[in-house]
Amino acid sequence: MAVNTTKTPPFTALQVMQDSPVIPVIVLNDVAHAVPMARALVAGGIRMLEVTLRTSQALACIEAIAKEVPEAIVGAGTVRNAADAKAAANAGAKFAVSPGYTPSVGQACRDVGLSLLPGVATGSEIMMAQEDGYTELKFFPAMQAGGPAMLKAWGGPFFDVRFCPTGGVTAQNASEFLSLPNVACVGGSWLVPAEALANGDWARIEKLAREACQLKLR
């Protein structure tokens, strides 16, 4: 008889999405920035932090935040394969976000106990994710793939899916996405500007987080 080794994630994907109106999409090149940045975001009211696996320092940054900022809930973005999922979980990530979706990525995240927000851009991709039990999805790249109009169109056939639009979402257009009934939150990189990281301007990051928390869902 097969043994089920799937681990239960500490948070569901919906809980990750509903914690605040915005999940910051974070690119870190220096481990020294990770902890003060995370503390600034938490001070501004943002707990769910997506650190993308786009740099050689990303896993070390996830590990540092997980160990030193217990108030934060750190996740890994740009999870593209099983190796990424395992490495992220080992570093202390509590959830994963992927730019697309494959069944193997979904299974890998279940195996290591990571909630997953799979990336989708088409109806077929939504259906594939739903077949594997995923109903909370990342719409990516949101603006390039149709923006709010696409989400409105999906609201009919995919009435039971909640989305986190990411990609081209800004402080200026976030409210338009958040006003839609099938949007639970948005993902945005504007909360952690590269120049603020470079200058150690943690007060600016905290201010941007506070402003993001004021954005209202429908």
Domain of residue 46, CATH code: 3.20.20.70
- What is d(CA 101, CA 1) in angstroms, rounded to the nearest whole number? 29
Q: What is the pLDDT of residues 120-179, one digit of tens each?
A: 999 999 999 999 999 999 999 999 999 999 999 999 999 999 999 999 999 999 999 999
Q: Cα dihedral angle (194, 199, 201, 204), rounded to 10 degrees?
A: -40
Q: Which helix (H) or strand (E) holds 107?
A: helix 103-112
Query: What's the pLDDT at 2?
Result: 45
> Residues 117, 96: contact at Cβ < 8 Å?
yes
Q: What is the pLDDT of residues 66-85, one digit of tens each?
A: 999 999 999 999 999 999 99
Domain count, the chain: 1
Q: What is the pLDDT of residues 174-213, one digit of tens each?
A: 999 999 999 999 999 999 999 999 999 999 999 999 999 9
Q: Where residue 217 falls among pLDDT bands split at 50, 70, 90? A: low
Q: Is residue 18 part of a domain?
A: yes
Domain range holding 169? Answer: 13-210
Q: Is residue 60 part of a domain?
A: yes
Q: Is residue 1 part of a domain?
A: no
- Active-site residues: which are they? 50, 138
| Strands, sheet with 136-139, edge to edge from the N-terminal-most edge strand | 119-120, 136-139, 162-165
Query: What's the pLDDT at 84?
Result: 98
- What is d(CA 8, CA 29) in angstroms, rounded to the nearest whole number? 31
Half-sphere exposure of 98 (CA within 13 A, CB side): 31
Distances (CA, A) of 75 to 41, 50, 146: 14, 5, 26
Q: Is residue 69 part of a domain?
A: yes
Q: Is residue 191 part of a domain?
A: yes
DSSP 8-state assignment for residue 115: E
Q: What single-letter amino acid sits at 174?
A: A
Q: Is residue 83 part of a domain?
A: yes
Q: What is the mean pLDDT of residues 88-101?
A: 98
Q: What is the mean pLDDT of residues 61-67?
A: 98
pTM: 0.95
Q: Is residue 95 part of a domain?
A: yes
Q: Is residue 4 part of a domain?
A: no
| DSSP reduced 3-state for 19 | coil
Q: What are 36's two structure tokens?
A: 């003060």
